[in-house]
Amino acid sequence: MISSADFHGTTKVVDLIVEGSWIWPIEWNDKFPNLCVPIIEAHRDDDLIWRDSKGVLTDISVQNIWDDIRNKATKVPWYRLVRFNQCIPKHAFLLWPIMLRKLKTQDVLQAWDVQGGATLNLSCFLCGSQPDSHSHLFYECRFASDIWNDVKIKVVLQNSSNIWNGIIMGLIPIAHKR
């Protein structure tokens, strides 16, 4: 849009305003219908501010912008299992869809007909005994079950369940601990 309007990377906002009006292509008015023309004061340094969705002006920061544009919902009970001070962001990013049972397992992909008519091998890549699914991947697969049982011993959770909901419910009360 910018280059087709004969603007370039060094064009400044002040270059797009003449006598209090935007001098950009008319079709941009449809794309940006409520964009107010800023008041440019030559003798003052620019201030970067953010007008939030309630119309309040705040300092511009990633946190202020994120807090304004993100969908806000109540915290899920397992929040602290995924997000905590020492969490590894990549792990938290992967664990969130796991907790929501939104992994793209073979059963989900089959429902979407991703193979495009071709036949897929829907057996579990770990044990080969049955198609993988969220349930199979995390507690029905004997390979995953063996790993979970070893982990339970190492973290002193031998009495913990081997079923997904039981595991989560058992971990929630201790999620605040280091």
The candidate with the shortest Cα–Cα distance to 139, out of 120, 172, 165, is 165
pTM score: 0.54
What is the model's pLDDT at position 78?
Answer: 92
Cα→Cα distances 148→106, 153, 172, Å: 21, 9, 17
Cα→Cα distances 64→48, 58, 96, Å: 12, 8, 23
Give the tens place of pLDDT for each residue, 53-70.
Answer: 899 999 888 998 988 988
Tell me if 78 sits within 8 A of 172, measured CB to CB.
yes
Give the tens place of pLDDT for each residue, 1-12.
Answer: 777 777 877 888
Task: Share the mean pLDDT of the chain.
Answer: 84
